[in-house]
Amino acid sequence: MEPILKVVHLTHIYGTGTPFERSAVEDMSFDVADGEFLGIIGHTGSGKSTLIQHLNGLLKPSSGQILLEGKDIWAEPKKIRDVRFRVGLVFQYPEYQLFEETVYKDIAFGPTNMGKTGDELDCCVREAARLVGIRDDQLEKSPFELSGGQKRRVALAGVLAMQPRVLILDEPTAGLDPAGRENLLANIRDYHRNKNGTVIMVSHSMEEVAQNVDRILVLKSARVLMQGTPKDVFCRADELLSAGLDVPQITRVAMALKERGLAVDPAVYTTEALERQLLTLRKGAAGC
Amino acid sequence: MLKDITLGQYFPGDTIAHRLDPRTKLLLVVLYIVGLFCADSGLTYGVMIAVFLTCARISKVGAKALVRGLKPVLLIIIFTGILNLFFTPGDYLFQFGVLHISRQGIKLAVQMVLRIMLLIMGTFLLTYTTSPIRLTDGLERLLGGLKKLHVPVHELAMMMSIALRFIPTLIEETDKIMSAQKARGADFESGNLFHKAKALIPILVPLFISAFRRADELAVAMECRCYHGGEGRTKLNPLKYAARDYWALACGAAVTAGVIVLGRFGF
């Protein structure tokens, strides 16, 4: 199947021609399949934010291409706005970009820019609000009266209302409490499952990525270090650790157990999987 | 893109110009400006240009950075030049309708353009070689006498350093908000003036809110550290004049006095 988003040899250099010249993205290539939930992890400064700003045309590549549904997004620079409607980008701390008098109007900002009006607009806004769990009576409130977690969900709805083909989230759970975090992740999972949308989530919490995504892209110093399913990636836990990245806590427990001589496979990233392994181990031992 | 603005940008360095006391530098700039406005002949302008070039050389600020500082006032410079060139009465060398070029006009235009350029670049030397903190420190001490007249000098200086400190932060914030709204299809480029003004609302509202939030947080943080204004407050790095400051001031005063005297005797 044709990938919905294809990044080909993407390079971005900041400050070309100045002494501060440095490349934030270097020769990255990867595909994003339609309907996939992709996680991007990497250190601060590994080029995550620069990369995702290329995917919806906010930054122009120094060299390389981004193909959206097979077409170079910069083929017609005048139509870059259409690309931004099809690739929705939710920035870090998106609640700081709310500006309208009511939640409803703020969510409607994106679709209105697309030229939607009347019932169609209303439909988009209400559906987006429903997806992130905002009640109808909250739609007429000022967004500034809401709590932090609710504000962030309004901001997410503001992007979902454009009904993008690809949704990109930059650290969507940063600064939320555990309950708010789980809530938001559930919203995103629901959206992914029910709408069959393509989701790209940037995060530096390994747990979050491991438990939610289908495939992981690991970045290190502006390059793609590895990509694959969570199992493939956490198999190479040693490499991750030596790259200065974390692995999920449970993977670390499994690695420690293996080091002490237990025959566990350290490539686990959920508590349940390790529990199952340990139970079979004990059964095996009892059987001897 | 917004980051390219230079506004009192400081270039860290370790030249004698960087090490001079900020008060000395402020006084030198005042002397320099007085000198510039008293200069009225080829000779005196030559002296001022030499002074400027020497200072630029000493402080090791690149010519590029200095010229870049002129960009925002380019329009004013051109406008001044043209006005003086065409509308100064005197011995006409050339006439075309209301436009005429006189010998005096040429002289005045060259002088005014030179004066503005030297003025801007000279003051830029000050901000290029002095960090904002030191600059406000120096200003506070220089204006210290006004405290007797109940002018809140310390508070004004504090406000100034906070404002300077937050310019880059706010520029970064504006960049971020612009990107976020662009991602939602906001269009800042096309449309007429009314549309463009309206397109600013999605940037300005979040920007103001975050500025107020930051101000609030900063105020709380300052209170937590028992900040209560200038009374009895000591400095981490108290300003102290060194021998080089007296020498610099003496040189500056001598040059300015020289320019004034030269002007008086009609050179």
Give alpha helix (H) positions in B130-152.
132-142
Q: What is the pLDDT of residues A163-189, one digit of tens each?
A: 999 999 999 998 888 888 898 999 999
Best of A59, A99, A124, A170 to mutate (most B CBs within 10 Å, chain B): A99
The CA distance from A99 to A110, in Å, is 12
Q: What is the pLDDT of residues B132-164, one digit of tens each?
A: 788 888 988 888 888 888 888 888 888 888 888
Q: Where are the beta strands (DSSP E) in chain A?
A: 5-14, 22-32, 37-42, 63-68, 71-72, 87-90, 166-170, 198-202, 215-220, 223-228
The three-class DSSP label of residue B75 is helix
Q: What is the pLDDT of residues A99-152, one digit of tens each?
A: 999 999 999 999 999 999 999 999 999 999 999 989 989 999 999 999 888 999
The CA distance from A78 to B48, in Å, is 51
Residue numbers in A near B202 (CB within 8 A): 97, 99, 109
- Residue A284: inside a domain: yes
Q: CB of A216 within 8 A of CB of A233?
A: yes
Dihedrals φ, ψ of A235, to 5°? Answer: -55, -35
- Residue A265: inside a domain: yes
Out of A89, A96, A99, the one facing B183 most closely (by C-beta) is A89
Is A110 touching B (CB cutoff 8 A)?
A: yes
Q: How many CB atoms lie within 10 A of CB A74?
A: 15
- Residue A174: inside a domain: no
Q: What is the pTM of this model?
A: 0.75
Per-residue pLDDT at B1: 42
Per the structure, the complete domain to which residue A255 belongs is given by 248-288
Q: How many CB atoms lie within 10 A of CB A247?
A: 22
Place of tokens 């934010």: A49
The CA distance from B238 to B136, in Å, is 13
Pick the closest to residue B257 from B24, B34, B29, B25 (CA basis). Answer: B34
- Residue A112: inside a domain: no
Is A234 touching B (CB cutoff 8 A)?
A: no
Q: What is the DSSP string of A73-88?
A: TTSSGGGHHHHHHHEE
Out of A96, A110, A144, the one facing B184 most closely (by C-beta) is A110
Domain boundaries, chain B: 1-130+238-267, 150-233
Q: Which helix (H) or strand (E) holds B170?
A: helix B153-183
Q: What is the pLDDT of residues B175-203, one digit of tens each?
A: 999 999 999 988 887 778 888 888 889 99
Q: How many CA atoms within 13 Å lie on the side-chain side of A224?
A: 19
